[in-house]
Amino acid sequence: MAAFDVQVSWDGAVITGLRTVTPLRGTVGVVSLYDALLGRVHKVPGRPDTGPVTLEREVSDDLTFDLWARGPHLQKEVELRLTDTSGGPIVVYRMHRCWVSDYAVAPELDTGLVVESIALSMDAWERVTPPVPKLAEEMAARLQRRVVRLDTASLVGATTQETERRIDEVIRDAQGSGAVLLIDEADALFARRTEIADAHDRYAPSPLDTVVSKLSTYPGPVLVVPPDPDSDPA
């Protein structure tokens, strides 16, 4: 099971010292409609809504919670960033137009700690998927490695053997530093996969088969920039 580093930020600053972040919740209400002819109640989906998120930390000289609570009418954009500490994905959620709906300071008499909490209500939240090149850069920075960006067309040779040779060279070069491979211009590769010259070619390995098979042996991260759905296939 992956372990994630959790960061919450607003106004461009990461909130420090968090000990609790409650779940993001989305709910859909239920509307009951009475059918007089059938004598029964029908239930249908109603209004969607979001629940508040509560952040909790020990009281310190950081006044971030206190200052926002003093101006609860102020709405902010809040980001929740989850980073896989083993070098896996970064998952980002954005909470839109948040405001303070509750602020509390609670001494814990048995431990002597003083905890402050802030509840944020919001208009909506969503999961944000960053562009693949940015994701590759962030992953390489966390792993302290470099990004090797490859043009797909440059990997595909006239023959299967030539394609294999080119990919083997790339893997040997990148493997020495554990680089993050970023496969770009995938449109050309996917277009080649649909080209079938004759019945014999139907069963021959395609360039895509060769590239995928070879890249699957790379021990480091491999990210592929997907084809642009708006691009002209011609």
Domain holding 31: CATH number? 2.30.110.20
Look at residue 229 and tell me if it is in a domain: no
Query: pTM to 2 decimals?
Result: 0.62
CATH of the domain at 174: 3.40.50.300
**What is the predicted pLDDT for the residue at 93?**
95
**What is the predicted pLDDT for the residue at 131?**
79
Q: Which residues pair with 79 in a beta bridge?
A: 9, 94
Q: Is 14's pLDDT higher than 90?
A: yes
Secondary element (H or E) of residue 149: strand 147-151
The answer to whether residues 207 and 167 touch, using CB atoms and an 8 Å cutoff, is no
The answer to whether residues 120 and 96 touch, using CB atoms and an 8 Å cutoff, is no
Look at residue 162 and tell me if it is in a domain: yes
Q: What tokens does 146 get?
A: 């470099």
Round to whole Å and give the CA distance between 203 and 200. 6
Q: pLDDT per residue over 121-145, tens digit each?
A: 999 999 987 778 887 888 888 788 8
Look at residue 67 and tell me if it is in a domain: yes
Look at residue 232 and tell me if it is in a domain: no
Phi, psi at 59, each rounded to 5°: -70, 135
* Residue 107 shares a structural domain with residue 14: yes
Look at residue 151 and tell me if it is in a domain: yes
Provide the sign of the torsion angle of the four alpha carbons 153, 155, 161, 164, taken in this order: negative
Look at residue 233 and tell me if it is in a domain: no
* Residue 118 shares a structural domain with residue 150: no
> What are the start-end ranges of the H helices in 144-185?
152-155, 160-175
Mean pLDDT, residues 37-54 taken together: 92
Q: What tokens does 202 get?
A: 């139907």
Q: pLDDT per residue over 111-123, tens digit each?
A: 889 999 999 999 9
* Residue 198 shares a structural domain with residue 149: yes
* Residue 125 shares a structural domain with residue 138: no
